[in-house]
Amino acid sequence: MARITYATAVVLEAIADGRRYGFDIMEATGLPSGTIYPALRRLERDGRLESAWEDEAEATADQRPARRYYTLADAGHELLAEARARYHGLARSLPGEAADKP
């Protein structure tokens, strides 16, 4: 089984929960950006995450630059299952709410 740090586990859980970009994940997990970004990079490199640029029109409508959105790949779901097995109560540990939800 791959080594899963707690931070990685929490990031995975946040993305599974529908948080799709860095700042959103930051708010959901309460972890600093310096922890979240390397975790995102590693997960994406390992094929656990997929990323894509937000539709430009959507962003413009919202009067902000386009974001990079992250979603779980199949391998990411597998890793999440392992993470949940290791860190019990992970799903309930997210403190915040989705940042862009009203």
Partner 1 sequence: MTRPALPFPANAILALASRFVPRSRRAEWLREWRAELSWARRRTGRASTVGASLGSLPDAFWIRTHEWSPEMLLQDVRFALRTHRRRPGFLIAALATLALGIGATTALFSVVNGVLLAPLPYPEPDRLVRLYGFNEARGTSRINLNPMDLVDVRDAAESLVGLAWATSDSVTLTAGDEPLRLQTDFVAADYFGVLGVKPLLGRFFLEEENDSEAPRVVVLSEALWRDRLGADPAAVGRTIDLSGRPHVVIGVVPGDFAGPFFAQQTDLWMTWPFDAANPNRGGHFMRAIARLAPEVGIDAAQEEIDAIAARIGELYGKPGRGIEVVPLAEAVVGETRPVLLILLSAVAFVLAIVCANLAGLLLTRAAGRRREIAVRTALGASRARILRQLLVESLTLSAAGGALGLAAAALFTGWAQQWVAGAIATAPRVAPDWRVGAFALAVSLASGLLFGLAPAIQTLRGAAGSARSGGGASSREATPLRAALVVAQVALSLVLLIGAGLLLRSFVTLMAEETGYDPAGLLTLRLSATESDYAELAGMVDFYDRLEERILAQSGASAVGRVNRLPLGGSRSCDWFHMEGWEPVSPGEGECAEERVVSAGYFETMGIRLLAGRWFDERDTADGEQVVVVSETMAARYIGDRDPIGAGFKWGGHDDAPYRRVIGVVEDVKHASLDAPPLPEVYMPHPQYPFYRTMFVAVRVGGDAGAAIGDVRRALAEVGPGIPVFDVATMQERMGDSILGRRIAMVALGSFAMIAVLLAGIGLYGVLAYTVAQRSREIGIRMALGARAQEVTGLVLQRGLVLTVVGIAAGTGGWFFVAGLIRSLLYGVEPTDPATLGATAAVVAAVATAACWLPAVRATRVDPAVALRE
- Residue 5 sits in the site that holds partner 1 (CB under 8 A): no
Closer of 23 and 91 to partner 1 (Cβ): 23
- Residue 15 sits in the site that holds partner 1 (CB under 8 A): no
- Residue 71 sits in the site that holds partner 1 (CB under 8 A): no
- Residue 73 sits in the site that holds partner 1 (CB under 8 A): no
Distances from the Cα of 52 to the Cα of 44, 49, 89, angstroms: 11, 10, 30
- Judged by CB under 8 A, which of 17, 21, 50, 98 binds partner 1? 21
Burial of 7 (0-12, 13-18, 19+ CB in 10 A): middle
Torsion over CA: 13, 54, 97, 30 (sign):
positive
The vertex-13 CA angle with 4 and 29, nearest 5°, equals 95
Closer of 10 and 36 to partner 1 (Cβ): 36
List residues near partner 1 by CB under 8 A: 21-23, 26-27, 32-38, 41-42, 45, 56, 59-60, 63-68, 99
